[in-house]
Amino acid sequence: MKNDHLIVMANQIGDFFKSYPDQEYAKKEIATHLRKFWAPDMRNLIKEMVEKNTPELQDHVAEAIKKYL
């Protein structure tokens, strides 16, 4: 799977949870979704992208991955 596709998918998940009033809860839910529905290799790859500060990832998505995944 290409990296850009993972970024798009992660940002789409982030878009869904962006409107939640409690953003800390939203970040936990982003991470929960990734754990439930993404294969381990996909999760590892997105974590690597966060560590490299991939600019295309939305900030709240990157924070969710850093903190909760």
Contact 11, 57 (CB under 8 A): yes
Between the alpha carbon of residue 44 and those of residues 20, 26, 50, 51, 64, the distances in Å are 26, 21, 10, 11, 14
What is this structure's pTM? 0.92
Outline where 1-69 has alpha helix (H): 3-17, 23-37, 40-51, 59-68
Tokens, residue 6: 């993972």
**CA distance from start to end of the chain:** 20
User: Does the pLDDT at position 2 exceed 90?
Assistant: no
As for how many domains the chain has, the answer is: 1
Per residue in 3-62, pLDDT tens? Answer: 899 999 999 999 999 999 999 999 999 999 999 999 999 999 999 999 999 899 999 999
Domain with 10 in it: 3-68
